[in-house]
Amino acid sequence: MNPHTDILNPIPGGRGQTFMPAERMTAGDKEWTASNTRFEGGMGIDCTVPYGYESDFMRPVYAVDKVDLKKWFSDDQIANGKDRMKGWVNSLARTGR
């Protein structure tokens, strides 16, 4: 992702949104409605792989099926490490991706 070219502002100057009835107050002579409020909301980040370069962006696959942790660690140490794993590392440890 190139921050200079791949961060997109998809709807500059878009119409606003009135979310709560309490916000429907007047500002001077205009009522706060979607038709007269503007916002610069939203951001898109283009992290797609360039066409034709897919193989250059392949993620590594770790050899989790070929490593025997018992050669270096006790069962208690392995269990302790697995207890500390949270989130995506569980999938990484199971699949290697």
Q: What is the pTM of this model?
A: 0.42
On whether both 32 and 47 belong to a single domain, the answer is: yes
The pLDDT value given to residue 82: 93
* Domain containing residue 84: 59-97
On whether both 4 and 48 belong to a single domain, the answer is: yes
On whether both 50 and 80 belong to a single domain, the answer is: no
Beta-bridge partners for 30: 27
Comparison of pLDDT for 48 and 16, the residue scoring more: 48
Comparison of pLDDT for 32 and 9, the residue scoring more: 9
On whether both 5 and 51 belong to a single domain, the answer is: yes
Rounded CA gap, 48 and 63, in Å?
26
Give how many domains the chain has, as a whole number.
2
Query: Average per-residue pLDDT in the chain?
Result: 78
On whether both 50 and 65 belong to a single domain, the answer is: no
For the segment 48-85, what is each residue's pLDDT rounded down to a tens digit? 888 898 888 888 889 999 999 999 999 999 999 999 99
Rounded CA gap, 71 and 77, in Å?
12
What mean pLDDT do residues 17-31 have?
53
On whether both 37 and 65 belong to a single domain, the answer is: no
On whether both 68 and 28 belong to a single domain, the answer is: no
